[in-house]
Amino acid sequence: MGLLYAIGFIAALALALIMTPLVKTFAFKIGAIDKPNHRKVHTRIMPRLGGLAIYAAFVGAFFAVSPFIPEGLLRPRDVNMINALLVGGTIIIILGALDDRFELSAKVKLLGQIAAACVVVFGFDVHIDLVNVPFGETMQPIAEWIGIPLTIIWIVGVTNAINLIDGLDGLAAGVSGISIATIAVMASLMGFQPVILLSTLLLGGIIGFLVFNFHPAKIFMGDSGSLFLGFSLATLSMLGFKQVTIVSFVTPLLIIGVPLSDTFFAIVRRWVNKKPIFAPDKGHLHHRLQDLGFSHRRTVLIIWGVSAVFGVLAIVQSAVVQSSAANWITFGVICMTIFFLQIGAELIGIVDKSHRPLITLLSRIRLRLLKTGEATRGK
């Protein structure tokens, strides 16, 4: 199977390298372009629709290698999973391509995302159905009326999270690529070959596209790319790890920790400033890093690095999830992650530049300890 993965990766990479310039020409021809404005960092008209190249590379490579998949390797459930990703992903790519050309309303895009998620859930009967109560020992089934809405919310939420961070050249594609690579590594550790294959193909398409998308970009992925990658990440992360334990549900959260945390802080920021939750602004992580003086390219590389750290945490979490101490390790990872996320958010001012409650609290504790130490020495 290793050779099949390698061939699939190379095929997807080659297809992306071939398709991206063609898609660029097509985008200009039909008017799928992105014009500069006060919220955007680019200063010239750019072609969108780059997601079509990633999608074409992924699907083309899959159909190229599928005849060589050993007979009996894929169970009926695996085939169902692959079909859910392909059909749902096709709906998403059409939705994103239409938005790249005609700029659909937020309501229409949300309805399209829900429709794609419903295809996965109801069309192919793929949804979260097992949980493990934290610090419990056995898997417990959950009712469909809980699992189905949870699955739809997960798919739609992650799809939009990737869309929100697509603000700099190569940012969303790089973060998605790191997340997909993380999924591939964990699937390898678990021996889940269908997810390894799909992740490898998708990674090849992303890297091929990044050749044209890294700063200075020649083409943007557009909503077609960010929505497709978000949908693929949501589906693969859920399908690959939903039946390990619910503490493993922390794993997909870690895999896409950067876009999810950026989305969370964006919601909090807009709520604090009494603005509509879906109102665009320039307070995202990449905006704040640039405001601190980092260059376009360095900002992207920093966020890639943070995403890689989340990926390593996810792999560690996956590696220990079967051990008796898994729940406690997970609890520790969650606490540390939340702590450092909050510290980082306050330092760069992603919510409010002047309000730093945790840093203020830590400073007061430090001063109190210093005063106590001085008083003790004085005695």
Q: Tell how strand 140-141 and strand 130-131 pair up.
A: antiparallel
Give yes or no for a contact between 338 and 354, defined as CB atoms under 8 angstroms apart.
no
Give yes or no for a contact between 283 and 206, defined as CB atoms under 8 angstroms apart.
no
Neighbours of 31 (CB within 10 A): 11
Q: How is residue 205 written in tokens? A: 């398409």
Instruction: Determine the Cα–Cα distance for residues 362 and 368; give it in Å rounded to an integer.
Output: 10
Instruction: Determine the Cα–Cα distance for residues 102 and 345; give it in Å rounded to an integer.
Output: 35
166 marked ligand binding residue = no
Crossing angle of helices 326-348 and 257-272, in 10° steps, is 50
Give yes or no for a contact between 180 and 54, defined as CB atoms under 8 angstroms apart.
no
Instruction: Determine the Cα–Cα distance for residues 262 and 280; give it in Å rounded to an integer.
Output: 13
327 marked ligand binding residue = no
Beta bridge mates, 140:
131
CA 56, distance to chain mean position in Å, is 20
Between the two ends of the chain, the Cα-to-Cα distance in Å is 72
Give yes or no for a contact between 120 and 292, defined as CB atoms under 8 angstroms apart.
no
Instruction: Determine the Cα–Cα distance for residues 302 and 108; give it in Å rounded to an integer.
Output: 34
User: 35: buried, middle or exposed (CB in 10 Å: 19+, 13-18, 0-12)?
Assistant: exposed
State the binding site for Mg(2+). Answer: 163, 223
State the binding site. Answer: 163, 223
